[in-house]
Structure 1
Amino acid sequence: MPDIPCGGQIFDLAFHPTRSTVYTGLLTGEIKAFGYDEQGNHETSFTLRPSKRSCRSLEISQNGDHLWAVGKGKALHTIDTTIGKVSESRKDIHDSPINRVKRLMPHMLATGDDDGVIKLWDPRKPDVLREFTHHFDFISDFLWLEDKKQLVATSGDGTLSVLDVRSKKTKPFAQSEDQEDELLSIVPIKGASKIVVGTQLGILSIFNRNKGWGDCVDRVPGHPSSIDALCSLPSSYPSSHSTILTGSSDGLLRAVQLLPTKLIGVIADHGSFPIERIAIDRGGEGRWVGSAGHEEVLKLTDLNEIFEDEDKNEEADETSEDGEKDKGEDEEENQELEDLSKTIEPANASDDDHQDSDVPTGKKRQYKQEKDVLAGRKKRGRNEVEAEPSFFSGL
């Protein structure tokens, strides 16, 4: 699909959960909505500017009727997407510029600012529900754990914290040790049993929920630059439980498999412009991944072209391997018949012939082992390389 020019640097993007519409928040404070189709055509749905300050973060409601926007202006703007108008603006809800907004439940939002303050809101009520001040640097990202009704926040102070939104306490449920690096992005893998965090130094830190939040259990180095954005794959892909998309400040959008570690390929290239945000349409279950950098252009990439080609290559490898296996079995059977015929003695054979003849041993058929699809393929598919944990170092 052709790139969508936005006329300004994009700070964040959000897709409508059911329609082919993408919303972008710009440095100029504008919010632009674009409709797109599978043929690569796009058109502007609406443009509005609720603030003259930059729009840093966007969040969409569950049904897509409302869009929330926050930014440097310290306000929370609610936009009615059905008419493209601002329906409500709450001014000065934070003392510092707001960096992130996240919808937790139908009637609960979370906002995080540059000073590390996190606030919970009910859009139906004017006052804040709770405020948390345990972080002392900017809030970089949020992750909502639906099973436990917990909010995980990453911060530039080097720690992540877990908030139980059902509790009325203003202290976190848990907080990690100092990871000695800025934590910039967060995404779940393995059915949310493990959490991956992107860092300023280009390391993916993996936390295991079963072992607590005190420290990461694994670190995957290799990205040459900071990992500013992370995103899960749609659940329709077989490898979605362990494969994520990473947006780095080197301008490359990568598909990376974890545990074991393997670089699937480069999905999009923004050149020298760092990637700030990535998201997948249709509530994270669609085919288009949007990535935004500093080049004032929204890139939409078709995931099916990447991963369906991988599946086809894998099927072709399996078919080729099965054919070789069948051919080998036929050759073995012919050899067995030939060996067996040599052991049948003529009726007038002498005793010496009996003594000199070999004892038939019967050749044991050798089968190839079943292919382990998790161990990788014999042939390399397009956009895929086999790599060690330091696989990014040469990129």
Structure 2
Amino acid sequence: MPDISVGSQIFDLLFHPSHPTIYTGLLTGQVKAFQYDEQGQHQPTFAVRPSKRSCRCLTISEDGSQLWAGGKAKAIYTIDTTTGTVSETRKNAHESPINRMKHLMPHMFSTGDDDGVVKLWDPRKPDDIRGYTHHFDFISDFLWLEDKKQLVTTSGDGTLSVIDVRGKKSEPFAQSEDQEDELLSIVSIKSGSKVVVGTQTGILSIFNRSHGWGDCVDRVPGHPQSIDALCTLPSSYPSSHSTILTGSSDGLLRAVQLFPTKLLGVVADHGSFPIERIAVDLGGEGRWVGSAGHEDTLKMTDLKDVFEDEEGEADEGANAQVDVASDEDDLAGDDQTPVGLNKIPAVIEASDDEEAQDSDVQKEKKRKRKGDKNLAGKRKKGRNEIDAEPSFFTGL
């Protein structure tokens, strides 16, 4: 699919849960929607500007009828996706800019701000249900555990916490030890039994739910820069239970398999622009993965084009070196890129948009780079830390 130009830096993106529509939150405060088809053609659906300040985060209702947006204005805006208009505004929802949002249940969504405050909201009510203040730095990401009705939060303060949304206490169910690193992104694997966290120093920290949330059980080094975004593969792929997509500050969107650890290849290339957000359409079960960073272009990559050759070889029982599901060798140590993963899109050119100088961007970059000091040098080795082969680092 051709890249979609949105005219300003993209802070967040998400897909409609059932329709081929993608929504973007922009530096200008606009929310823009685009429809697309299987052939890769796209067209704008609506553009609305709830605030003149940047829109940092989006979340959508289960049926896709309502979209919630938040950002530097500290307010929550409800957008009717059918008409493309703002239907409700919750002013001063937070005391600090809102950095992250997540839809949890039909009548509940969460928000997290720059000061580490997490709030739960009922869309039918104007005020928040509960607030949590156990974090002291920005909330970077949310993970919803449907089986336990628990919300997992990651923060720039170096800790992960678990909130039981059914409880009435304003304290978390559990909170990890200080990981001595900014925690930037989170996703679950192995049918939800394990949780992967992306960090500022480029390490993937693995938490095992059966071992509790006190500390990670594995650490997978290799990414040269911070891992700002994580996403799972659609369940239709044989290796989806242990394969994730990683968006890094070096501008590469990678497919990485865990247990055993293998770099499967580069899915998309944003050039010199850091990748801040990635998502797969149709509730994570579609064919398109959207990725965005510090440019005014939304990149859409067809996962079928990336992995179809591996699937074809697997069906024919051919060479297992290109089989994503059953390869027993470390592809990261092989000079050959797996078939289908060598189709790296063109590098995006930098934008000259004057809005790139907005103070919100400068503040956010500074805030997210507080961990640039060599935190890895003073880290204690994890209980089961992976000693990867040098070839794995070369592959990444």
Normalised TM-score (structure 1): 0.84
Tell me the SS of whatever aligns to 1:64.
coil
Judged with a 3 Å threshold, the aligned counterparts in structure 2 of structure 1 residues 389 and 132 are, in CA distance, closer, same or farther, namely farther
Aligned to 2:21: 21
Are residues 1:273 and 2:226 paired? no
Alpha-carbon distance in 1 for matches of 2:296, 2:15: 18
1:262 and 1:388 in contact (8 A); partners too = no
Alpha-carbon distance in 1 for matches of 2:289, 2:393: 22
Alpha-carbon distance in 2 for matches of 1:283, 1:394: 30
Per-residue Cα deviation, 1:311-344 (whole angstroms, up to 9, x for no partner)? 123345x3479xxxxxxxxxxxxxxxxxxxxxxx
Q: Give, in angstroms, the shift of residue 288 of structure 1.
A: 0.1
Equivalent residues in 2 for 1:324-339, closer than 5 Å:
none
Aligned to 1:161: 161
1:261 and 1:389 in contact (8 A); partners too = no
Q: Give, in angstroms, the shift of residue 39 of structure 1.
A: 1.6
Alpha-carbon distance in 2 for matches of 1:390, 1:175: 35
Structure 1: which 5+ residue stretches go unaligned?
A: 322-371
1:261 and 1:388 in contact (8 A); partners too = no
Aligned to 1:77: 77
Aligned to 1:354: none
Aligned to 2:382: none
Q: Give, in angstroms, the shift of residue 308 of structure 1.
A: 1.4
Greater C-alpha radius of gyration = 1
Aligned to 1:297: 297
Aligned to 1:391: 392
Are residues 1:139 and 2:96 paired? no
Are residues 1:373 and 2:374 paired? no
Determine what percentage of the aligned residue pairs are the same residue.
73
Match for 2:28: what amino acid?
T
Alpha-carbon distance in 2 for matches of 1:383, 1:60: 33
Pairwise CA RMSD: 1.9
Q: Which residue of 335, 339, 352 maps to 1:382?
A: 339
Alpha-carbon distance in 1 for matches of 2:24, 2:123: 21
Structure 2: which 5+ residue stretches go unaligned?
A: 343-387
Judged with a 3 Å threshold, the aligned counterparts in structure 2 of structure 1 residues 90 and 270 are, in CA distance, closer, same or farther, namely same
Alpha-carbon distance in 2 for matches of 1:2, 1:250: 22
Tell me the SS of whatever aligns to 1:307.
helix
Q: Give, in angstroms, the shift of residue 389 of structure 1.
A: 7.2
Tell me the SS of whatever aligns to 1:51.
coil
Equivalent residues in 2 for 1:1-395, closer than 5 Å:
1-316=1-316, 318-319=317-318, 373=326, 375-376=328-329, 381-382=338-339, 388=389, 391-393=392-394, 395=396
Judged with a 3 Å threshold, the aligned counterparts in structure 2 of structure 1 residues 388 and 382 are, in CA distance, closer, same or farther, namely farther
Tell me the SS of whatever aligns to 2:305.
helix
Alpha-carbon distance in 1 for matches of 2:294, 2:274: 6
Tell me the SS of whatever aligns to 2:191.
coil
Per-residue Cα deviation, 1:167-202 (whole angstroms, up to 9, x for no partner)? 000111000000000000000000010000000000
Alpha-carbon distance in 2 for matches of 1:163, 1:223: 29
Q: Give, in angstroms, the shift of residue 128 of structure 1.
A: 1.3
Q: Give, in angstroms, the shift of residue 373 of structure 1.
A: 2.6
Normalised TM-score (structure 2): 0.83
Alpha-carbon distance in 2 for matches of 1:312, 1:376: 19
2:202 and 2:222 in contact (8 A); partners too = yes
Aligned length: 343
Alpha-carbon distance in 1 for matches of 2:264, 2:10: 27
Aligned to 1:356: none
Match for 2:165: what amino acid?
V
Higher relative contact order (Cα pairs below 8 Å, separated by 6+ residues):
2
Aligned to 2:369: none
Per-residue Cα deviation, 1:88-134 (whole angstroms, up to 9, x for no partner)? 01010100000001111010011000000001110101221111000
1:224 and 1:393 in contact (8 A); partners too = no
